[in-house]
Amino acid sequence: MGNPEYRLYGHFESGNVYKAALLLALAGKAYEFRHVDIFAGATKADDFTALNPFQEIPVLVHGSSTITQSDVILRYLADDIGRFGGKDAGERRRIQEWMAWTSNKFTNGIASARFGTRFAGFDPAVITFFQKRAEAAFDLVERHLADREWLVGDSPTIADFSAAGYIFLADEAGLDTSPWRRMHAWIERLSLLPGWHHPDKMPRKDAIVAPTAVFNAPDDDDV
């Protein structure tokens, strides 16, 4: 195998890095993973700040392009790979709406409650605030999934990957997601896609990551 065309900077504890890794895994794309020691302040170092002025992971490098912010990376990869990005302009816009809402209410709720619980020792009132924000978002997703299998359209898209990323880490945020039955079924569908892996399988050091399987949608004719 040659050098993979994508390079992903991240850390195995980051659900936002996982979102990009998940897309690459489901698309059957190999990538180079660069471990960034976020707990040792590596994102604040000069070389990393030059790469990403936001001082955050994930960062994707592809050819001469450097892309930051998980939802922008997901959109870039979907467009580059030609999958999971929506069938037309209308679906693309719905996906952008879902990613914007999800990052604010759903991911931010789980991720901040988890970060405050596991890593940063936030005031309990702050953790409770974010848990309630996440639970309100779960209610909305549960209603949305009443008559559909995926958040947008009739097949998995980056809207699902973006929203689902932190669900696998919800227990670490002190959240019990079992009452949301349709949401659980949606996550189950996602985790059955060929190539899927749990965030606990993220590499823990620099690595070349090879895909284990390729998900091909039923309507793909390039199988």
134, 106 Cβ separation under 8 angstroms: yes
- Does residue 134 contact residue 175 with C-beta atoms inside 8 Å? yes
Of the pair 100, 208, the CB lying nearest its own copies is at 100
User: In the bound complex, what is the minimum distance in angstroms from residue 182's beta carbon to its own copies?
Assistant: 14
Residue 6 and residue 76 in contact, taking contact as beta carbons nearer than 8 Å: no
Q: List contacts with its own copies (CB under 8 A).
A: 53-56, 65, 67-72, 75-76, 90, 93, 96-97, 100-101, 103-104, 108, 122-123, 125-126, 129, 140, 143-144
DSSP-derived secondary structure for 37-72? -GGGTGGGSHHHHHH-TT--S-EEEETTEEEESHHH
Rounded to an integer, what distance in angstroms lies between the CA atom of residue 159 and that of residue 27? 15
CB of 195 to its own copies, least distance (A): 26
CB closer to its own copies out of 111 and 164: 111
Q: Looking up tokens 């097949």, which residue turns up?
A: 155
At its nearest, how many Å lie between its own copies and the CB of residue 141? 10
Cβ proximity to its own copies, 90 vs 194, nearer residue: 90
Closest distance to its own copies from the beta carbon of 148 (Å): 11
Is residue 31 helix, strand or coil?
Answer: strand
Are 14 and 37 in contact by the 8 Å Cβ rule? The answer is no
Structure-block tokens of residue 158: 């980056």
Q: Where are the alpha helices (DSSP H) in the chain?
A: 15-26, 46-51, 70-81, 89-101, 108-114, 124-144, 158-164, 181-191
In terms of CB distance, is 96 or 216 closer to its own copies?
A: 96
Which C-beta is closer to its own copies: that of 99 or that of 202?
99
Nearer to its own copies, 3 or 65 (CB): 65
In the complex, what is the shortest distance from the CB of residue 207 to its own copies, in angstroms, rounded to a whole number? 26
Q: Tell me the closest approach of the beta carbon of residue 129 to its own copies, in angstroms.
A: 5
